[in-house]
Structure 1
Amino acid sequence: MIDRLEKEVDMLERHLQVLKMVIENEPIGIVKMSNETGYPHHKVRYSLRVLEEENLIEPSSQGAIKTERTAEFVDDLDGKIDDIVDKLEGMKIEDAAEIEG
């Protein structure tokens, strides 16, 4: 159960790293992103596809570029991550004695 969540968080981290590269280096292509991040081309391509489906980037003839929606997403990102962290903190079972009963 937790392993699946950890994989999702890792994938989200990759998507956000790719988005950050687009924001900072637009236009930018798959090869350059792969070389700079160390992620294989197919993983960068998948992240770009996900970001495009979310309307956060769009393709151009020179590479990926941000969209009108990108700035709003980035502005809201920290708050959403903080909310998720708070929710995860609330899920912790702090006292093993409760389980041993």
Structure 2
Amino acid sequence: MVFRKLKAEAEIVLRHLEVLKTVMEKQPVGIFKLSDILNMPKHRIRYSLRVLEQSGIIVPTQYGAMVRDEGYDKIEEMKGELKEIKELINNIEELLNKL
């Protein structure tokens, strides 16, 4: 289907955000604790943490992941990007409804 890849990517982003939210609430927090809290496999937690780290949002410490001071600015940037994505989705929906 046309939207299969978009849906899969959205699900991954949702997982990254769930991990980020938990890191913000429980920091510093490690992979094992996150896995228990979120009931997700460790390899998925590890991947999400890597993506968040590469995005400059979190930093690994000896005690576990923590949000960087600059990470909060990155989160605000993501909110702006989400607004742009919503506009695109609305345009897609409008065109699809015209078919």
Aligned partner of 2:97 in structure 1 is 94
Identity of aligned residues (%): 32
- Equivalent residues of 2:28, 2:65 under 8 A apart: yes
How many residue pairs are counted as aligned between the two chains?
A: 96
* Alpha-carbon RMSD: 1.3
Please list every run of at least 4 consecutive aligned residues from structure 1 whose deviation after the TM superposition is greater than 3 angstroms. Answer: none
Relative to the length of structure 2, the TM-score reads 0.88
Instruction: Using the TM superposition, give the Cα deviation of residue 11 of structure 1 relative to its aligned residue in structure 2, in angstroms.
Output: 0.4
Give the 3-state SS of the residue equivalent to 1:68 in structure 2. coil
CA distance in 2, matches of 1:85, 1:77: 12
1:63-82 CA distance string (max 9 Å, x none): 00111221112223333212
Amino acid at match of 1:91: I
Q: For the pair shown, which has the larger CA radius of gyration, 1 or 2? A: 1
Amino acid at match of 1:61: Q
Relative to the length of structure 1, the TM-score reads 0.86
